[in-house]
Amino acid sequence: MTEMVHGTIPARDGDPILPRWWGTLDRWTLGCVLALFGIGLMVGFAASPPLAERNGLPNFYFVQRQAVFGLAALAVMVVITMMSPQLVRRLAVIGFLLSFAALVGLPFAGTDFGKGAVRWYSLGFGSVQPSEFLKPGFVVVAAWMISASFEPGGPPGRLMSLAMTLVIVGFLALQPDFGQACLVLFAWGVMYFVAGAPIVLLAGLAGGVALMGTVAYSNSEHFARRIDGFLSPDVDPRTQLGYATNAIQEGGFFGVGVGEGQVKWSLPDAHTDFIIAVAAEEYGLLLVLAILGLYAVVLVRSLMRLVRERDPFIRLAGTGLACAVAVQAMVNMGVAVRLLPAKGMTLPFVSYGGSSVIATGIAMGMLMAFTRTRPQGQIGDVLIGRRR
């Protein structure tokens, strides 16, 4: 308890591996991740039985699958947290290349499962969504490129990372998956901003995004339908947004009671994109605030540690990963309360989905590997030294 209040104690090189790992890890972040996974299973017991019944499956079929996916994700996450930043970077490059190759192959071998967007590979016993695995690798590779531009005689890493980002966004838009495309752009923009990008350039990029949104609205029926539904002053109570809005209102502060909610019988995506509506209806505003607080702790704790980091690559990659996970959570919950257009994003560690939970486990493992306490001077010491 003392270390959780006053901070972790830097481990000595002679310490055994496990005590050294435990002593340098941000245990608050790990605790929040475990809590989110537990909440996801708890809400899944309420959200998934109706879907299982409609498909002629055992009541807790999806909960059991989520438990298996989640345990695999947590195991991968813990292993990654034990790695050095250099090893994480090497593995991220390999993962990024494989995921990007899978993303390019989607138009030829992918499927849409009747949802109007070709985002998955069907494996018979399940499916894989390449964009989920692409994100953590992309953030690390882009951070590596940007940080390389700081070195004397280094490559034009910022321009290279921008070109890579635009290519990825283009492939995501072809699916179409504008939500993931925006998330990739946001993660790159955050890292570029932290790296010292001029505000004028970022404003120009924001204008470019707005222009692309206008073009997409004019040429994509899928995109235009979602924007029109968001801008409409009236919510059709028979749509997913209508059901979710009503469920959140019915839940109030304390919820209608475990198992008493009705929205799970109407929403086809109650266990994935709109699981926060099930949580709000059955457990009330208190559980929603607890979920928000857990994501906030992960973000704030990670950024506080990264502020003191001397290595620009670690600082950029960690910031991109932390902000990407937090913004994905914000978008998912924002859609449910109609603050944002429908995006088709899952709630990290809470929503059902093998690709989502395992990819998020990889991202959080990378983040905790980057935020582990390492023997180094404070970044302020470096800045003072440069002034001298």
**pLDDT tens track for 259-307:** 778 888 877 777 888 899 999 999 999 999 999 999 999 999 999 999 9
Q: Decide if pLDDT at 377 tops 50.
A: no
What H or E segment, with its residue span, contains residue 128? strand 127-128
Report, as an integer, the average pLDDT of 1-25.
Answer: 61
pLDDT at 18: 79
R_g of the chain computed on alpha carbons:
21
As for how many domains the chain has, the answer is 1
Confidence label for 79 from pLDDT (cuts 50, 70 and 90): very high
pLDDT tens digits, residue range 84-140?
A: 999 999 999 999 999 999 999 998 888 887 777 788 898 877 789 999 999 999 999
**Cβ–Cβ contacts within 10 Å for residue 73, how many?**
25
For 284, half-sphere exposure in the C-beta direction (CA atoms, 13 angstrom radius) is: 8
Which is more confident, 141 or 152? 141
For residue 165, is it within any domain?
Answer: yes
Q: Is residue 342 part of a domain?
A: yes
Please check the confidence at residue 13 and state whether its pLDDT lies above 80: no
pLDDT (0 to 100) of residue 235: 64
Q: Which residue has the higher pLDDT, 166 or 341?
A: 166
CA distance 22 to 92: 23
Q: Using CA atoms, how far apart are residues 43 and 280, in angstroms rounded to an integer?
A: 10
5 occurs within a structural domain: no
Asked if residue 10 is part of any domain, the answer here is no
Tell me whether residue 8 is in a domain. no
What's the pLDDT at 15?
60
Q: Does pLDDT of 248 surpass 50? A: yes
As a whole-number percent, the residues of the chain with pLDDT over 70 amount to: 89
Q: Which two tokens stand for residue 357?
A: 């939970």
Helix (H) or strand (E) holding 351: none
pLDDT of residue 229: 67
Q: How many residues does the chain have?
A: 388
pLDDT tier, 382 (very low <50, low <70, confident <90, very high otherwise): very low
**If you average pLDDT over residues 179-200, what whole number do you get?**
88
In a domain, 158, yes or no: yes
Q: Residue 314 sits in which domain range?
A: 26-371
- Lowest mean pLDDT, pick from 36-40, 73-77, 172-176, 297-301: 172-176
Q: Which residue is associated with the tokens 């000595």?
A: 12
Tell me the C-alpha distance between 357 and 363, whole Å: 10
Q: Which distant-in-sequence residues (6+ apart) come within 8 Å of 275 by Cβ?
A: 40, 43, 44, 47, 347, 350, 351, 352
Any domain includes 3:
no
CB-count exposure of residue 20 (10 Å: 0-12, 13-18, 19+):
middle
Q: Is the pLDDT of residue 342 over 80?
A: no
* CA gap 130, 143 in Å, rounded: 20
Q: Is the pTM of this model over 0.75?
A: yes
**Cα separation, 340 vs 143, whole angstroms:** 28
Does residue 223 lie in a domain region? yes
Distance CA 66, CA 42 (A): 11
Residue 215 has pLDDT above 80, yes or no: no
